Structures are given as C-alpha cells and as structure tokens.
Homo-oligomer: A and B are copies of this chain.
Amino acid sequence: MNTPNRSTAEPLANGHPTRERILDAAEELFAIKTYEGVSVRQIMSKAEADVSLAYYHFKSKRDLFDQVMLRRAAHLNEIRLDALRAVEQRHPDDAPTVEEIIDAFTHPLLELLRNQHDEWQYYFRLVANINSSAEWGGELMTRYFDPLVSRFIEALRKALPDSTDEDLYWSYHILSGALTLTIAETGRLDNLSGGICHSDDMDGIIERMPRFVAAGFRELCSKKSR
C-alpha cells in the first residue's frame, strides 16, 4: 500500500507539500474568521494533517500567522515597484501624471485579484482586516509595505511639486482606505446598490480608482487650491 522510500521527499497529499498546505489553510481561515477566531486544530483539519505537525513546521500559532503574511508580501511589493519603474521609464524627462502613478500602485494588485482570484482572495481579505485594526494595523502594515509606499509617495511628490507633505500623506490615507476596502470584497456594495455593482468586479474599480483618486490628489495637493 505504501510506496516506500521515494527518492523525492515524501509529503504530498493533494499536490503540494505539507508546509504549503498548512499555510494555505491558515491563510483562508485567518481571513474568514480572524486570528483569534480559528484554532490550530481547525487549520490542521483543513490542511489534512495532524495537529502536531503545525508545531513541527512552525514555532507557534503566531509564527504561523507571520509566515502567512510574509509569503506573499514580497511578490506584491515587487510587481508594484516594477509597475512604478515602468511608468517612470516612459517619462525620462518629465514627471509621470498622478493617474499613472496611482494606476501603478493599484493595478497590479487588483489585476491579481481578478486574474488569480482563487489564489489571492484570502490573502487580500487578511490584509484588509489587518489594515483597519487598531491593534495590528499600525505596526504590521508598516513592517510589510511601508518601503514601497514611501517610494510611491516620493513619485507623487514629484508629480505634485506644490504640495505640502501633510496634504500628500492625508491623500494617501484616503487612497489606502479605498483600496483596502476594495480588496476585502465584503459584498456590501452589492446589497447597497441592489445588485447594480459587485464587490468583486475588479474591472469596475480598476478603471475608476485612478481617475477618482487622482482628481482628489490634485484638488488637495495643488497650489491654486490653497
């Protein structure tokens, strides 16, 4: 019944190794039911592995959570930075427009949620929950995303040379709230609009977010308006 001593390391159950299956299960359950709302047992049951293996692969429940967060953050920062660099290379002499910068900030992320929805939806929900948590939001978002965000703020400062830093950071705050609510896909918009709009319609927000937000930035961060 058992295939003994496979040359590759054994532990595949539904395609990929145990450690990855644990991370997948944890990501989904943390996103849906919050960190405290899920037990290690429930996670391991979904991962189809024994409880004790959680503590073989990870130091603790909290360590498992951190590894869930880390797994996808690097890739996300990379593709968003690439998008910003691409925009800047299209403008060797002048500054890119605010729309272009906002689009580089939001598009890669929203496109991932559209094109690879099943793989990314729970991670994004998790980020949305964390971002609006007074307990964890301040610290964790800073740790995982601030270098990238600062890079974007810098680009926006160049595109809006008359702005004050205060206006710039508050404008970013508004963008951040709008973006994280979007990736939460709560379904509230569906209820409110009576079915006219859908939380998971990424095309709907991809085309609207940069225009809306760029207009807001220009209103707050231009000289004439002060």
Whether A73 sits at the interface, judged by CB under 8 Å, is no
What residue in chain B is nearest A142 (Cβ atoms)?
Answer: B191
A184 contacts which of B134, B149, B192, B204 (Cβ < 8 Å)?
B134
In this assembly, does A12 line the interface, its C-beta being within 8 Å of a C-beta of chain B? no
Give the number of copies in the complex: 2
Q: Which of A18-26, A51-59, A211-219 contacts B (4 or more CB under 8 A)?
A: A211-219
* A204 touching B174, Cβ below 8 Å: no
A173 contacts B189, C-beta separation under 8 Å: yes
A63 to chain B, nearest CB (A): 18
A79 to B: closest C-beta gap in Å: 21
CB A99 to nearest CB in B, in angstroms, measures 10
Question: Which residues of A in the span 29-61 have a Cβ within 8 Å of any Cβ on B?
Answer: 31-37
Q: List, in ascending order, chain B residues with CB within 8 A of A173's CB.
A: 178, 181-182, 189, 197, 205
- The 4 A-B residue pairs whose C-beta atoms are closest, nearest first, are A177-B181, A36-B37, A137-B186, A138-B187
